[in-house]
Structure 1
Amino acid sequence: MKIEMKAVRKLRVHWPIAPETFSRLAKGDAAAFKEEAGIVALLQALSESPDLGDFGNYRHVFESGLGFEGFTSAEGANPTLGEVGQETISPTFVFTTYFDAALPDAAVERCLQHIVDIHPWEVPVIELTGPISVSHTALPVFESRAAS
């Protein structure tokens, strides 16, 4: 089988979560995905955009990880968590998905704006790469059955 590559852009969003959700996810409790309101909203945004996470036979593909965000809010900030001048550490859900690199800028901007609109942070951490390549090859059904 020849591996085919596809030009995509990577979208990564850092999303604060409750310490209890962090602990549950770290233990492998996937039900926590459906019980944390922020994660539910983020995954809903993914499912509403057919351009995000499109891998041919697989739709709404994403990856996630857990981590921590650290920040100190400066004067003039209106922090969701912590206080101005205080160092804050937040448990974080890191969501990554991909979309076709040829997607028009207007569609990308609409998607990003939707995420900003639902994100609880005053200044959300959203990463968007330039084009990168990912594998895009899927075995046809008849080939995978023949190998069994």
Structure 2
Amino acid sequence: MKSVRKLRVHWPIASESFARLATGDVEAFEDEAGIAALLEALAESPDLGDFGNYRHVFESGLGFEGFTCTEGANPTLGHVGQRTLSPTFVFTTYFDAALPDTAVERFLQHIVDIHPWEVPVIELSGPVSVSSTAPAAAYASEAAS
């Protein structure tokens, strides 16, 4: 078992991209600018999605975000007082639970900076265990690097 933290980001996408992804069209990952930016952020952060011999590991799902903007909001989508539903790409990845807070804060700030929402939905878990078939020595040598 390996101790990791989970990072989940909810990212708005176009209805067309949502429909394409729902049918299994993996090219939509590259064609949707927001998803492409998120995957680039993953690739630029070597600590995210590191599973020994596998790098940039992530999971994704499709869903909807719902919200109502109140006075003072500056929404990218929707209007004050109006309920809004947005097709959403849900991105999940993991990183070593022992990663220093400064590194975690750095990649979280990068995601906030590129996210289109005024208030992005970003979830960060405490340590959880994930199964691993890689030898423990491989993780120990990588952690020392």
TM-score (norm 2): 0.92
Percent of counterpart pairs with the same letter?
Answer: 83
Q: Distance in 2 between matches of 1:40 and 1:87?
A: 28
What secondary structure is seen at the aligned counterpart in 1 of 2:81? coil
The Cα RMSD (Å) is: 0.8
Partner of 1:112: 108
Amino acid at match of 1:14: H
User: What's 1:64 paired with?
Assistant: 60
In structure 2, runs of 5+ residues without a counterpart are: 136-145
- Asked whether 1:125 is paired with 2:131, we answer no
Give the paired residue count.
135
Which residue in the other structure is 1:6 paired with? 2
Larger Cα-atom Rg: 1
Residue of structure 2 equivalent to 1:34: 30
Among 7, 17, 42, the alignment partner of 1:21 is 17
Q: Distance in 1 between matches of 2:133 and 2:105?
A: 28
Instruction: Determine the C-alpha separation between the residues in 1 that align with 2:42 and 2:114.
Output: 12
Question: Given residue 86 of structure 1, which amino acid in structure 2 is its aligned partner?
Answer: Q
Give the whole-Å Cα distance in 2 for the aligned partners of 1:138 and 1:21: 35
Alignment of 1:67-106 (within 5 A): 67-106=63-102
